[in-house]
Structure 1
Protein backbone atom coordinates (compact mmCIF):
# COMPACT_ATOMS: atom_id res chain seq x y z
CA UNK A 1 0.00 0.00 0.00
CA UNK A 2 1.28 3.45 -0.87
CA UNK A 3 1.97 6.11 1.74
CA UNK A 4 0.18 9.44 1.74
CA UNK A 5 2.01 12.10 3.76
CA UNK A 6 -0.67 14.76 3.45
CA UNK A 7 -3.88 15.69 1.68
CA UNK A 8 -5.31 19.16 1.28
CA UNK A 9 -8.28 20.58 -0.58
CA UNK A 10 -9.48 24.14 -1.11
CA UNK A 11 -12.72 25.34 -2.67
CA UNK A 12 -12.90 29.02 -3.53
CA UNK A 13 -15.45 31.38 -5.04
CA UNK A 14 -13.63 33.26 -7.81
CA UNK A 15 -15.68 36.36 -6.93
CA UNK A 16 -13.74 36.54 -3.66
CA UNK A 17 -10.46 36.74 -5.60
CA UNK A 18 -11.98 39.28 -7.97
CA UNK A 19 -12.98 41.44 -4.97
CA UNK A 20 -9.46 41.17 -3.49
CA UNK A 21 -8.03 42.20 -6.86
CA UNK A 22 -10.33 45.22 -6.94
CA UNK A 23 -9.41 46.18 -3.37
CA UNK A 24 -5.65 45.52 -3.46
CA UNK A 25 -4.68 45.36 -7.15
CA UNK A 26 -1.12 44.49 -8.06
CA UNK A 27 -0.09 44.15 -4.41
CA UNK A 28 -2.43 41.15 -4.06
CA UNK A 29 -1.10 39.58 -7.29
CA UNK A 30 2.51 39.96 -6.11
CA UNK A 31 1.69 38.42 -2.74
CA UNK A 32 0.09 35.30 -4.25
CA UNK A 33 1.90 34.65 -7.54
CA UNK A 34 5.60 33.97 -8.15
CA UNK A 35 7.38 35.66 -11.05
CA UNK A 36 6.82 32.62 -13.28
CA UNK A 37 3.11 32.56 -12.44
CA UNK A 38 2.72 36.31 -12.96
CA UNK A 39 4.00 35.96 -16.53
CA UNK A 40 1.28 33.41 -17.29
CA UNK A 41 -1.32 35.50 -15.43
CA UNK A 42 -0.54 38.47 -17.70
CA UNK A 43 -0.52 36.26 -20.80
CA UNK A 44 -4.05 35.17 -19.88
CA UNK A 45 -5.26 38.76 -19.67
CA UNK A 46 -4.41 39.62 -16.07
CA UNK A 47 -6.93 41.13 -13.69
CA UNK A 48 -9.00 42.50 -16.56
CA UNK A 49 -10.03 39.11 -17.93
CA UNK A 50 -12.06 36.20 -16.60
CA UNK A 51 -9.27 33.79 -17.62
CA UNK A 52 -6.76 35.81 -15.60
CA UNK A 53 -8.96 35.89 -12.51
CA UNK A 54 -9.59 32.13 -12.71
CA UNK A 55 -5.84 31.52 -13.14
CA UNK A 56 -5.09 33.57 -10.02
CA UNK A 57 -7.92 31.90 -8.09
CA UNK A 58 -6.75 28.37 -8.94
CA UNK A 59 -3.18 29.21 -7.88
CA UNK A 60 -4.45 30.72 -4.63
CA UNK A 61 -6.52 27.59 -3.96
CA UNK A 62 -3.59 25.29 -4.82
CA UNK A 63 -1.29 27.05 -2.36
CA UNK A 64 -3.95 26.93 0.36
CA UNK A 65 -4.46 23.22 -0.34
CA UNK A 66 -0.69 22.66 -0.11
CA UNK A 67 -0.59 24.41 3.25
CA UNK A 68 -3.43 22.19 4.49
CA UNK A 69 -1.66 19.07 3.26
CA UNK A 70 1.52 20.30 4.97
CA UNK A 71 -0.45 20.71 8.19
CA UNK A 72 0.51 24.26 9.09
CA UNK A 73 -1.49 26.67 6.96
CA UNK A 74 0.00 29.65 5.15
CA UNK A 75 2.35 31.74 7.24
CA UNK A 76 3.84 29.41 9.80
CA UNK A 77 6.11 27.27 7.61
CA UNK A 78 4.91 28.05 4.10
CA UNK A 79 4.27 31.22 2.11
CA UNK A 80 2.55 31.80 -1.20
CA UNK A 81 6.00 32.39 -2.72
CA UNK A 82 7.34 28.94 -1.74
CA UNK A 83 5.83 27.20 -4.76
CA UNK A 84 4.88 27.97 -8.34
CA UNK A 85 1.91 26.13 -9.79
CA UNK A 86 2.68 25.92 -13.49
CA UNK A 87 1.60 23.69 -16.36
CA UNK A 88 3.73 21.10 -18.12
CA UNK A 89 3.77 20.70 -21.91
CA UNK A 90 0.57 18.62 -21.78
CA UNK A 91 -1.23 21.28 -19.69
CA UNK A 92 -1.10 19.28 -16.45
CA UNK A 93 -0.60 21.47 -13.36
CA UNK A 94 2.67 20.86 -11.53
CA UNK A 95 4.04 22.29 -8.31
CA UNK A 96 7.54 23.67 -8.68
CA UNK A 97 8.91 24.32 -5.19
CA UNK A 98 11.34 27.14 -4.40
CA UNK A 99 14.65 26.06 -2.86
CA UNK A 100 13.51 26.28 0.78
CA UNK A 101 10.43 24.13 0.16
CA UNK A 102 12.46 21.76 -2.03
CA UNK A 103 14.71 21.12 0.98
CA UNK A 104 11.73 20.58 3.32
CA UNK A 105 10.16 18.14 0.86
CA UNK A 106 13.43 16.23 0.55
CA UNK A 107 13.68 16.02 4.35
CA UNK A 108 10.19 14.54 4.49
CA UNK A 109 10.93 12.31 1.49
CA UNK A 110 7.88 13.50 -0.41
CA UNK A 111 6.77 15.37 -3.49
CA UNK A 112 3.68 17.42 -4.32
CA UNK A 113 0.91 16.36 -6.70
CA UNK A 114 -1.81 18.87 -7.56
CA UNK A 115 -5.14 18.82 -9.36
CA UNK A 116 -7.04 22.00 -10.29
CA UNK A 117 -10.58 22.57 -11.46
CA UNK A 118 -12.65 25.62 -12.27
CA UNK A 119 -16.30 25.90 -13.19
CA UNK A 120 -17.71 29.35 -13.91
CA UNK A 121 -17.57 30.92 -10.44
CA UNK A 122 -15.88 28.23 -8.33
CA UNK A 123 -12.34 26.87 -8.32
CA UNK A 124 -10.97 23.85 -6.49
CA UNK A 125 -7.53 22.50 -5.81
CA UNK A 126 -6.47 19.18 -4.33
CA UNK A 127 -2.90 18.52 -3.21
CA UNK A 128 -1.35 15.24 -2.16
CA UNK A 129 2.05 14.83 -0.54
CA UNK A 130 3.34 11.45 -1.72
CA UNK A 131 6.65 9.57 -1.49
CA UNK A 132 9.28 10.90 -3.89
CA UNK A 133 9.49 9.03 -7.16
CA UNK A 134 12.41 8.53 -9.48
CA UNK A 135 10.67 10.23 -12.39
CA UNK A 136 12.34 13.41 -13.65
CA UNK A 137 10.97 16.70 -12.34
CA UNK A 138 10.72 19.94 -14.27
CA UNK A 139 12.00 23.22 -12.87
CA UNK A 140 10.91 26.81 -13.62
CA UNK A 141 13.40 27.23 -16.46
CA UNK A 142 12.39 24.01 -18.18
CA UNK A 143 8.69 24.90 -17.99
CA UNK A 144 9.32 28.45 -19.26
CA UNK A 145 11.48 27.17 -22.12
CA UNK A 146 8.84 24.66 -23.16
CA UNK A 147 6.14 27.36 -23.14
CA UNK A 148 8.27 29.67 -25.31
CA UNK A 149 8.91 26.84 -27.80
CA UNK A 150 5.17 26.30 -28.33
Structure 2
Protein backbone atom coordinates (compact mmCIF):
# COMPACT_ATOMS: atom_id res chain seq x y z
CA UNK A 1 0.00 0.00 0.00
CA UNK A 2 2.74 2.48 0.96
CA UNK A 3 4.69 1.65 -2.21
CA UNK A 4 1.58 2.44 -4.26
CA UNK A 5 0.95 5.72 -2.45
CA UNK A 6 4.46 7.10 -2.98
CA UNK A 7 3.96 6.66 -6.73
CA UNK A 8 1.16 9.24 -6.63
CA UNK A 9 2.37 12.83 -7.07
CA UNK A 10 -0.58 14.19 -5.11
CA UNK A 11 0.59 12.27 -2.02
CA UNK A 12 3.89 14.13 -2.34
CA UNK A 13 2.02 17.42 -2.73
CA UNK A 14 0.15 16.69 0.49
CA UNK A 15 3.40 15.89 2.30
CA UNK A 16 5.09 19.03 0.98
CA UNK A 17 2.02 21.08 1.97
CA UNK A 18 2.16 19.78 5.54
CA UNK A 19 5.90 20.43 5.80
CA UNK A 20 5.46 23.88 4.24
CA UNK A 21 2.63 24.73 6.61
CA UNK A 22 4.78 23.67 9.57
CA UNK A 23 7.67 25.79 8.27
CA UNK A 24 5.26 28.68 7.94
CA UNK A 25 4.31 28.29 11.59
CA UNK A 26 7.98 28.66 12.57
CA UNK A 27 8.07 32.14 11.08
CA UNK A 28 4.49 33.39 10.94
CA UNK A 29 3.96 36.27 8.53
CA UNK A 30 0.64 37.96 8.00
CA UNK A 31 0.29 38.51 4.28
CA UNK A 32 -1.74 41.32 2.77
CA UNK A 33 -5.34 40.39 1.98
CA UNK A 34 -4.66 40.30 -1.75
CA UNK A 35 -2.12 37.51 -1.37
CA UNK A 36 -4.61 35.46 0.65
CA UNK A 37 -7.05 35.74 -2.22
CA UNK A 38 -4.32 35.04 -4.76
CA UNK A 39 -3.54 31.84 -2.86
CA UNK A 40 -7.16 30.77 -3.00
CA UNK A 41 -7.26 31.58 -6.72
CA UNK A 42 -4.12 29.47 -7.31
CA UNK A 43 -5.65 26.52 -5.47
CA UNK A 44 -8.80 26.68 -7.58
CA UNK A 45 -6.83 27.27 -10.80
CA UNK A 46 -4.55 24.32 -10.06
CA UNK A 47 -7.47 21.99 -9.38
CA UNK A 48 -9.30 23.15 -12.53
CA UNK A 49 -6.12 22.63 -14.60
CA UNK A 50 -5.67 19.10 -13.22
CA UNK A 51 -9.30 18.18 -13.88
CA UNK A 52 -9.15 19.63 -17.40
CA UNK A 53 -5.97 17.67 -18.18
CA UNK A 54 -7.40 14.45 -16.73
CA UNK A 55 -10.61 14.85 -18.76
CA UNK A 56 -8.60 15.43 -21.96
CA UNK A 57 -6.52 12.32 -21.26
CA UNK A 58 -9.62 10.28 -20.54
CA UNK A 59 -11.26 11.52 -23.74
CA UNK A 60 -8.10 10.51 -25.61
CA UNK A 61 -8.37 7.04 -24.10
CA UNK A 62 -5.08 7.13 -22.25
CA UNK A 63 -4.11 6.77 -18.62
CA UNK A 64 -3.64 9.55 -16.09
CA UNK A 65 -1.65 7.29 -13.76
CA UNK A 66 2.07 8.10 -13.56
CA UNK A 67 4.31 5.34 -14.83
CA UNK A 68 1.66 3.52 -16.83
CA UNK A 69 2.10 3.09 -20.57
CA UNK A 70 0.15 5.77 -22.43
CA UNK A 71 -2.22 4.68 -25.18
CA UNK A 72 -1.87 7.99 -27.01
CA UNK A 73 0.31 11.09 -27.13
CA UNK A 74 -1.90 13.98 -25.99
CA UNK A 75 -0.84 17.39 -27.31
CA UNK A 76 -4.05 19.45 -27.21
CA UNK A 77 -6.02 21.20 -24.49
CA UNK A 78 -3.75 22.12 -21.57
CA UNK A 79 -1.04 19.92 -23.10
CA UNK A 80 -0.66 22.53 -25.85
CA UNK A 81 1.02 24.93 -23.39
CA UNK A 82 2.57 22.51 -20.86
CA UNK A 83 3.80 18.95 -21.30
CA UNK A 84 2.88 18.38 -17.65
CA UNK A 85 -0.29 20.31 -16.81
CA UNK A 86 -1.21 18.00 -13.92
CA UNK A 87 2.16 18.55 -12.24
CA UNK A 88 1.82 22.25 -12.99
CA UNK A 89 -1.59 22.13 -11.30
CA UNK A 90 0.00 20.41 -8.30
CA UNK A 91 2.58 23.21 -8.06
CA UNK A 92 -0.15 25.87 -8.31
CA UNK A 93 -2.16 24.20 -5.55
CA UNK A 94 0.92 23.94 -3.34
CA UNK A 95 1.78 27.60 -3.92
CA UNK A 96 -1.80 28.58 -3.19
CA UNK A 97 -1.89 26.60 0.04
CA UNK A 98 1.25 28.36 1.25
CA UNK A 99 -0.09 31.81 0.37
CA UNK A 100 -3.61 31.24 1.68
CA UNK A 101 -2.17 29.71 4.85
CA UNK A 102 0.30 32.56 5.41
CA UNK A 103 3.14 30.05 5.29
CA UNK A 104 5.70 32.27 3.58
CA UNK A 105 8.65 30.10 4.63
CA UNK A 106 6.72 27.12 3.26
CA UNK A 107 6.99 28.55 -0.26
CA UNK A 108 10.41 26.88 -0.46
CA UNK A 109 8.49 23.61 -0.78
CA UNK A 110 7.24 24.63 -4.24
CA UNK A 111 10.61 24.46 -6.01
CA UNK A 112 11.40 21.39 -3.92
CA UNK A 113 8.26 19.71 -5.26
CA UNK A 114 9.13 20.73 -8.82
CA UNK A 115 12.60 19.21 -8.49
CA UNK A 116 11.14 16.03 -7.00
CA UNK A 117 8.46 15.77 -9.72
CA UNK A 118 11.13 16.14 -12.39
CA UNK A 119 13.35 13.50 -10.77
CA UNK A 120 10.74 10.93 -9.68
CA UNK A 121 8.06 11.21 -12.31
CA UNK A 122 8.59 13.47 -15.31
CA UNK A 123 11.94 12.19 -16.58
CA UNK A 124 10.73 8.57 -16.54
CA UNK A 125 7.42 9.54 -18.18
CA UNK A 126 9.20 11.51 -20.88
CA UNK A 127 11.59 8.61 -21.53
CA UNK A 128 8.59 6.30 -21.93
CA UNK A 129 6.85 8.77 -24.28
CA UNK A 130 10.05 9.11 -26.29
CA UNK A 131 10.31 5.33 -26.70
CA UNK A 132 6.65 5.01 -27.63
CA UNK A 133 6.23 8.04 -29.89
CA UNK A 134 9.77 8.85 -31.07
CA UNK A 135 9.78 11.70 -33.58
CA UNK A 136 6.23 12.79 -32.70
CA UNK A 137 7.22 13.25 -29.05
CA UNK A 138 10.46 15.02 -30.05
CA UNK A 139 8.47 17.42 -32.24
CA UNK A 140 6.03 18.04 -29.38
CA UNK A 141 8.93 18.75 -26.98
CA UNK A 142 10.38 21.21 -29.49
CA UNK A 143 7.26 23.41 -29.31
CA UNK A 144 5.87 22.75 -25.82
CA UNK A 145 7.80 23.43 -22.61
CA UNK A 146 7.96 20.94 -19.75
CA UNK A 147 6.26 23.26 -17.25
CA UNK A 148 5.26 26.55 -18.89
Structure with a larger share of its residues in strand: 1
TM-score, length-normalised on structure 1?
Answer: 0.29
Structure with a larger share of its residues in helix: 2
Structure (1 or 2) with the larger CA radius of gyration: 2
